[in-house]
Structures are given as C-alpha cells and as structure tokens.
C-alpha cells in the first residue's frame, strides 16, 4: 500500500488515470511516462480503442512510435494501409497524414510515444 505522496515506480497500464483526449475519436488515453514521470523529452501514451472506433485522419509536426499490445488495427501511414496486431509496431513520420482504426471485435490497446512537444501532458504540472 502506498501513501498519496509516495512516488510510484510500477503499476498496471489500465490503472493509470484516463486523460481527456477529445481529438482522438473516442479513444481512451493514459500517460505512462512523461516529463516529471521518468522520461524528459518524450511522452509515452497508452490508448484503448473500442471495436468500430478510430482516430481521425490527421497530421502534425512530430513523429509517433507505436507498439500494439492487444487486438488488431488498420493504420494508414504514408498513403499505405497496414494491418497490425498484438506484437506489431508502426512508425509515423512527422507531417504524415495517418489514422489508427480498431479492425477487430475486441478492444485495441497500443502504446504511442511522441516527443514532449507533441503532447502537453506533464506529471509535474509545469
């Protein structure tokens, strides 16, 4: 049992608090590592997407590093569609239109890491 002020060094992804992400098409977002939580310079997010949901087709000025943990996905990256499943990875270059869609019947779960300027979340609140 840990007190509220004690720093946590391990835990379960699904126990992390959900961070509002209205621009992610109904996908739940949680932050694993970020500035103020063990990783300055980058933000590792954990996303859960229900069957039939997808992120909007979009682009921005930073890359994504994606690892699929559970489920199956269809991703559009660099004009090509990629079928991904648990154990798959994907790289989205900066300024590339892309989306990720749950292509299965179970929840799609994946990690997505971006440079800290690609996600404003900071554990320390700065």
Q: Are 34 and 88 in contact (CB under 8 A)?
A: no
Number of domains in the chain: 1
- Is residue 4 assigned to a domain? no
Q: What tens digit of pLDDT does each residue of 84-109 get?
A: 999 999 999 999 999 999 999 999 99
What would the DSSP string read from start to end of 7-61? Answer: PP----GGGSPPBP-GGGTT-EEEEEEBTTBB-TTEEEEEEEE-TT-BPPSB--S
Domain assignment of residue 3, yes or no: no
At residue 26, does pLDDT exceed 90?
no
Separation of alpha carbons 112 and 63, rounded Å: 10
Q: Is 62 contained in some domain?
A: yes
The whole-number pLDDT of residue 1 equals 43
Residue 82 lies in a domain: yes
Tell me, what's the pLDDT at 5?
65
In a domain, residue 108? The reply is yes
20 or 23, which is more confident? Answer: 20
Residue 13 in any domain: the answer is no
Residue 12 lies in a domain: no
Domain carrying residue 71: 18-118
pLDDT tens by residue, 36-47: 999 999 999 999
Q: Are 33 and 39 spatial neighbours (Cβ–Cβ below 8 Å)?
A: yes
DSSP reduced 3-state for 118? helix
C-alpha to C-alpha distance for 45 and 104, rounded to whole angstroms: 21
18-44 burial, b at 16+ Cβ within 10 Å, e below that, comes to: eeebeebbebbbbbbbbbebeeeebbb
Comparing 111 with 125, the larger pLDDT belongs to 111
Query: For position 106, which CATH number holds?
Result: 2.60.120.10
Assigned domain for 29 exists:
yes
This prediction has a pTM of 0.90
């Amino acid at each position: 049992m840990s007190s509220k002020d004690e720093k946590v060094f391990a835990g379960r992804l699904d126990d992390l608090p959900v961070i509002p992400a209205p621009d992610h098409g109904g996908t739940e977002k949680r932050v694993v590592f970020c500035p103020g939580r063990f990783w300055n310079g980058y933000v590792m997010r954990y996303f859960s997407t229900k069957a039939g949901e997808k992120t909007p087709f979009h682009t921005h000025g930073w890359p994504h590093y994606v690892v699929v943990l559970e489920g199956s996905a269809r991703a559009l990256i660099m004009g090509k569609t990629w079928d991904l499943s648990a154990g798959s990875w994907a790289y989205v270059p900066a300024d590339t239109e892309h989306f990720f869609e749950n292509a299965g019947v179970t929840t799609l779960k994946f990690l997505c890491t971006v440079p800290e300027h690609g996600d404003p979340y900071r554990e320390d609140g700065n």
